[in-house]
Structure 1
Amino acid sequence: MYTSLNRRAANAYTQVGVHSVVEGASPHQLIVLLFDSLNSALNAAKGAMLREEVVEKGLHIGKAVRILEEGLKAAVDVQQGGELAQNLIAIYDYSITQLTLANLRNDVALLQAAQDAVEPVASGWREIANVSAVTGA
């Protein structure tokens, strides 16, 4: 009982911390947070897959797909972004397909393919954040 109370308190504290970070984040920082969450979900899915934890694997892959679809892909401005926006959409769609197949086939290589596809984009966003922090932009 005591452990459960501590766990609930820790979870509540974590949620407040996450909420505070999100509330104070710029749109750019929110995208970086989405990429970080995506990476965490993909790593957790790989671990669950290797441990043969089917339910956990599905939950983490589902979270990754939601981040890609509802977060990253939804944030792309196709009207303003032109070819770059179309390329981002293609990368996100490819990754969603790889994740769906990875879940169905229980294939770590497909999970890795999705992670490899989005990592250059994530690195670019992180680099922009670093440059902005240095220049004050």
Structure 2
Amino acid sequence: MAYGAQPHLAYQQNSVTTATPEELTLKLYSGCIRFIKLAKKAMEENNIQDKNTNIQKAQDIIRELMVTLNMDYDISHQLMPLYEYMNHQLLQANIKNDPALLEEVQGMAEDFRETWQQVMKANKLQKQAR
């Protein structure tokens, strides 16, 4: 399917290929949150297939965040166990069909996203001050 037939696909592709690494990280957090919300909705509707698919997508994002951590920084050594915990909780939520576990991971992802947004703003202000 050509992107010309579906302009939103071209936009999405372009927004990813032109994003900075910082913006991509923000997109990953947002995507994780979105998939967790979809998984919760599927749980409520007893739609096991969609629940499983969306939890797995959230796990894929967490794993991507893990493999892209730069372990040269101390903060990465603090983030890795948190990401591992989030991934484990998502697995448990899927196995136990437990929306409370999804809520916990969603809250963590929202906190990470908010913190990341603040870091991006601070970096932008710092660059402007130079």
Query: What TM-score, normalized by structure 1, do the two folds share?
Result: 0.83
Residues 92 and 118, structure 1, Cα contact 8 Å, conserved in 2: no
Residues 1:11 and 1:87: Cα distance change in structure 2 (over 3 Å): farther
Q: How far off is 1:135 after superposition?
A: 5.3
Question: Which residue of structure 2 aligns with residue 24 of structure 1?
Answer: 18
Segments of structure 2 that go 5 or more residues without pairing to the other structure are: none
Q: Distance in 2 between matches of 1:88 and 1:135?
A: 24
CA RMSD of aligned residues (A): 2.1
Percent identity (aligned): 24
Which of 116-125 and 90-99 deviates more? Answer: 116-125
Look up the match of 1:74: 67
Segment of structure 1 superposing worse, 92-101 or 9-18: 9-18
Q: Match of 2:19, SS?
A: coil
Aligned twin of 1:130: 121
Contact 2:3 2:9 (C-alpha < 8 Å) held by counterparts: no
Q: 2:38 aligns with which of 28, 35, 44?
A: 44
Match of 2:111 in 1: 120
- The residue aligned with 2:27 is 33
Question: Amino acid of the residue matched to residue 91 of structure 2?
Answer: T
| Structure 1 residue 128, shift from structure 2 partner | 2.0
Of 54, 60, 77, the residue aligned with 1:60 is 54
What is the alpha-carbon distance in structure 2 between the residues aligned to residue 9 and residue 26 of structure 1? 22
Q: Given the two structures, how large is their TM-score scaled by the length of structure 2?
A: 0.87
For residue 73 of structure 2, what is the amino acid of its counterpart? G
Which residue pairs with 1:5 in the alignment? none
Q: Determine if contact 2:42/2:50 at 8 Å carries over to the other structure.
A: yes
Given residue 129 of structure 1, which amino acid in structure 2 is its aligned partner?
M
Higher relative contact order (CA 8 A, sep 6+): 2
* Residue equivalent to 1:96: 87
For 1:109, which of 92, 100, 103 is the aligned residue? 100
Secondary structure at the counterpart of residue 61 of structure 1: helix
- Which consecutive residues of structure 1, in runs of 5 or more, have no partner in the other structure? 1-7
